[in-house]
Structure 1
Amino acid sequence: MSINHQNQGHVDSYYAASANSKTPYPQLDGHLQADVVVVGGGYSGLSSALHLAELGFSVIVLEASRIGFGASGRNGGQIVNSYSRDVDTLRAKYKKELAEPLCEMIFEGGDIIRERINTYNIKCDLKQGGIFAAKTHKQLKGLAHTKKAWEALGNNQLQLLDSAAIREHVDTDLYVGGLLDNRSGHIHPLNLALGEADALIRLGGQIFEMSPVERIDKGDSPVAYTKLGSVKAKFMVLAGNAYLGNLEPKLTTKAIPCGTQVVTTEQLDPELARSLLPTDVCVEDCNYLLDYYRLTGDNRLLFGGGVVYGARDPDNIERLLRPNLEKTFPQLKGIKLDYAWTGNFLLTYSRMPQFGRFGNSVYYLQGYSGHGVTCTHLAGKLVAEAINGQAKRFDAFANLPQFSFPGGRNFAIPMSAMGAAWYGLRDKLGF
């Protein structure tokens, strides 16, 4: 399937090929002013801009490529609750006054996504339900503990599955059980981003694509400069995440970019597709180097996994993912893969997102560590609250310690890869 001209700038992915038709936004050419300038047209930037526009702020979004170009338009499309570190870790690692506000917000990102879809009638193949799949009894015990902790925080849509019950949802013998979260789900992520951008425009916001920000002034009236223009504002939100580059060096040193890979099969016979995932839920396993998968709206199996530290593109994505796909579903052995792509996310040392400010006018959001679909939407709401004078919830994240990787990014990348290899070995051995 060829990519339509309106998707030029996106990677050659299933999402780009099946994106809802839209006219590209213009390139910034001239000097503008707004209440808020947002740098980055992914979920963090779009969520921030949309929430701010709803509060009555004038907003301009500057995107270096196309809306949803980065992880927001390339991810697995799973609405997964919580953060990369869950409730027990937060409570063990941080004081109560830091941990409890974070725990209270672990389901809010997914709720925001569903509200955006309903409010703005966004067509993005929303489906309900997601499973954490356990390959070992130790993992299943951990899921039972998660169920108890999440129910105490108000999620009453959870079901612990034994080996027989999980087969009702996933036609594979890989798992000893799992946890079904009906407050989870899955989407076409690029179409969600495009729908949010369209909603922003309808509220009077402005978007400029192919407008990379080359430098910023972080004064009381911050300015973002592109090659052909600038935007002066009362507030700035830096939301480029793994694609921010070296625009703000103080952020670059805080985290490392990592790549994850995704493939999509050819269209499957509807009966075969439904036999693989009878209840149309999305799935991710509990391994450190996990696999994740789901059905698309047109009956393809979308399968992702693996991490490449340093965000370089692997030589052969299909070779990396096909063995695990076929191990999960032997009935798909030899299936044709129509699309294969990679996308970058930003990994922090603590695995918790990094929110903060430079002075009183420049805010930043980054480092979701693999849990960006939901947390980015929460981040946008929180930064909008803070700019609007209600900073308590934003500061619950901003007050977390933000550590750089020891030895800097060049040292952290190989060390992280070595650590991942060790945990990958533990997964294989069932520890």
Structure 2
Amino acid sequence: MSFLSVDQDLARDSYYVATAPREIPFPTLDADAQADVVIVGGGLAGLSAAVELAERGRRVVLLEARQVAWGASGRNGGQAIAGLACDQSVIEQQLGKEAARDVWDMTLEALDLITQRCRCFAIDCDWQPGYLDLAVNARKAAELRKWQEQMHHRYGYQTTWIAPQEMGRWIASPRFHSGIHDARSGHLHPLKYSLGLARAAQRLGVRIYEDSAVTRLQTGARPRVHTARGQVVAEQVLLAGNVYLQGVAAQLESRIMPVGTYIVCSEPLDPALCTALIPSRSAVCDTNFVLDYFRPTADHRMLYGGRVSYSTATPRNLVASMRKRMAQTFPQIAACRIDHAWGGFVDISMNRAPDFGRLRKDGAQDPPSDGSYSVRSHHANVYYLQGFSGHGLALTGLAGKLVAEAMTGDAARFDIFARLGHRSFPGGARLRMPALVLGMAYYRMRDAL
């Protein structure tokens, strides 16, 4: 069974779908069309790019295989956090400290973009500021404290240290030793936000088509994007489908892997109890490699994520196992009812850094797949955004803005990310998934120490 079949099942019981009903669906592409830019993928990256390009006067067609925000954009944990999925040291080693500082500053811009777009387009998505990054033991606390000091010294980023004796003021849980509070980051309802962006794009003139899976990409001076019932001819193409592209650009697929992640949502809690669990109502993550993440919702539920599957198989007894994890963190709600359980797949890269770049008109990558960087090619008119590695709620919005800048003549900021080198996962098509499963077993053992 392919991960796409599993994904269909995981989407059925989402809290987000239950609390953000879709309006009239977008039509299916059933004829040929022309555009300045055709975007493949109706998630946050594609929608953000569509908005930015339309505001710059470009005629845009967006093709979504299922429904807008079907994948991770509409099903994620809702946490919008500064930084990348990889540590800043990965960026420093590849690009140098000056460019790494530019990257960090852009991740802060990504957070600002969310609030700006909500204000500009009247999107009500339950935005709540505040993020807690919490260590489960003294060893991990020392690592977190070192990271906090480095970020303050190198990047001027201010967070609040929470000592063990102060933890009770921030979270009513026995699991955590100490941590940090980040006032700049926060959380929201991702499907409400995504659908709000889709409405904004449509008002700006973007033609959005759902149930319009792309079957083939023809590169060239005027690339063509084919679906089962039509095609779009454009000057430029943006591939923003991540792991869902499936054969559209095979040269990109080996650089990302689908990883399953899972979430449950409790019944509504007494508002006083919900606030007592996390008084600041912040989003929370632990610092484990295979982490738990959770947050209160606007309607006083506890939304709790954790577990991962690197084989794409859904864990057995998912609801029971997730309830157990939530109860270990919050014994106070061990008996509460679980109203929703769902999951989905994120795209991870080998180094957990985002993978942005171009395909030339001959279909080859620019930069090459070996990670070396070449000067921006004037023969590249197909752009791609992938590899957000589970840290994309804010970053996808920034990515859409950067690629729109590049497509309209200013590629300086896009090319900072495009300089990052990426490798294919080892093992080839048959063995790379088992190899990743074994590798993650090592990190699970480390988390247990």
What is the TM-score with the length of structure 1 in the denominator?
0.94
- Opposite residue 344 of structure 2, the aligned amino acid is G
Q: Residues 194-213 of structure 1: matches in 2 within 5 Å?
A: 194-213=195-214
Are positions 1:290 and 2:291 aligned together? Answer: yes
**2:424 aligned with 1:404:** yes
Task: Report the 3-state secondary structure (helix = DSSP H, G, I; strand = E; otherwise coil) of the residue aligned with 2:264.
Answer: strand
Cα RMSD over matched residues? 1.8
| Aligned mates of 1:18, 1:82 — CA distance in 2 | 29
Please report how far the alpha carbon of residue 94 of structure 1 lies from its aligned counterpart in structure 2 after TM superposition. 4.4
- Give, in angstroms, the shift of residue 168 of structure 1: 1.4
3-state SS of paired residue (2:16): helix
**Cα 1:300–1:409 shift into 2, 3 Å:** farther
Deviations 1:5-56 (A, max 9, x none): xxx9953200011115411111111111111100000011111111111111
2:400 pairs, out of 380, 388, 396, with 380
Counterpart of 1:190 in structure 2 is: 191
Report the Cα offset of residue 157 of structure 1.
Answer: 4.8
Segment drifting more, 410-419 vs 91-100? 91-100
Structure 1 pair 335/408, CA: closer, same or farther in 2 (3 Å)? same
The answer to whether residue 165 in structure 2 is matched with residue 164 in structure 1 is yes
Which residue number corresponds to residue 282 of structure 2? 281
Displacement of 1:396 in angstroms is 0.9
Partners of 1:61 and 1:207 within 8 A in 2: yes
Q: Could you tell me which residue of structure 2 aligns to residue 51 of structure 1?
A: 52
| Maintained 8 Å contact 1:36/1:58 | yes
Instruction: Note the C-alpha offset of 1:204.
Output: 1.1
SS of residue matched to 1:418: helix
Q: Does 1:413 align with 2:414?
A: no
Distance 1:156 1:367, change over 3 A: closer
d(CA) in 2 for partners of 1:26, 1:398:
34
CA distance in 1, matches of 2:158, 2:119: 20
Q: 1:361 matched to which residue of 2?
A: 381
Q: Once the two structures are superposed, what CA deviation does each residue of 1:213-256 show, in whole Å capped at 9, x if it has no partner?
A: 11111112111111111111111000001211121111111111
Instruction: Show the 5 A alignment for 1:9-408.
Output: 11-96=12-97, 99-152=100-153, 157-359=158-360, 360-408=380-428
Q: Equivalent residue for 1:3?
A: none
CA 1:364 to 1:17, structure 2 compared with 1: closer, same or farther past 3 Å? same
Instruction: Give the Cα–Cα distance (whole angstroms) in 2 for the partners of residues 309 and 369 of structure 1.
Output: 13
Summarize the Cα distance change of 1:410–1:428 in structure 2 as closer, same or farther, 3 Å threshold: same
Any conservation in 2 of the 1:44–1:239 contact (CA below 8 Å)? yes
State the Cα distance separating 1:292 from its structure 2 match. 0.3
Moved more, 232-241 or 415-424: 415-424
Shift of 1:146: 2.8
Where in structure 1 are there 5+ consecutive unaligned residues?
Answer: 1-7
* Residue pair 2:132, 2:180 contacting (<8 A) in 1 also: yes
Give the whole-Å Cα distance in 2 for the aligned partners of 1:300 and 1:348.
32
SS of 1:107 mapped into structure 2: helix
Alignment: residue pair count: 422
2:370 is matched with none
Quickly say closer, same or farther: Cα 1:427–1:10, change in 2 above 3 A. closer
Give the match's secondary structure for 1:361. strand
CA displacement at 1:154 relative to structure 2: 5.8
CA distance in 2, matches of 1:183, 1:121: 21
Q: Aligned residue for 2:6?
A: none
Partners of 1:397 and 1:264 lie apart in 2 by 35
Percent identity between matched residues is: 41
CA–CA distance in 1 between the matches of 2:383 and 2:416? Answer: 14
Separation of aligned partners in 2, 1:49 and 1:310: 33
Q: What SS does the aligned partner of 1:427 have?
A: helix
After superposition, the Cα gap between the structure-2 partners of 1:164 and 1:9, relative to the gap in structure 1 and judged at 3 Å, is closer
Distance 1:118 1:148, change over 3 A: farther
Question: Quick check: 2:42–2:68 contact (8 Å CA) kept in 1?
Answer: yes
Alpha carbons 2:161, 2:180 under 8 Å: kept: yes
* Distance apart, 1:372 and its partner CA: 1.2
Q: Is this contact kept in 2: 1:11–1:69, CA < 8 A?
A: no
**How far off is 1:277 after superposition?**
1.2
Offset of residue 183 of structure 1: 0.5
TM-score, normalised with respect to structure 2: 0.90
* Mapped contact 2:260–2:312 kept (Cα < 8 A): yes
CA distance in 2, matches of 1:330, 1:119: 41
SS at match of 1:326: helix
User: Cα distance 1:230–1:264, how it changes in 2: closer, same or farther (>3 A)?
Assistant: same
Q: Which amino acid is 1:60 matched to?
A: V
Return 161-170 or 296-305, whichever deviates more: 161-170
* Letter of the 1:364 counterpart: Y
- Counterpart of 2:447 in structure 1 is 427
Q: Distance in 1 between matches of 2:189 and 2:355?
A: 26
Show structure 2 runs of 5+ residues with no match: 1-8, 361-379
* In 1, Cα distance between equivalents of 2:152 and 2:222: 45
Name the counterpart of 1:4. Answer: none
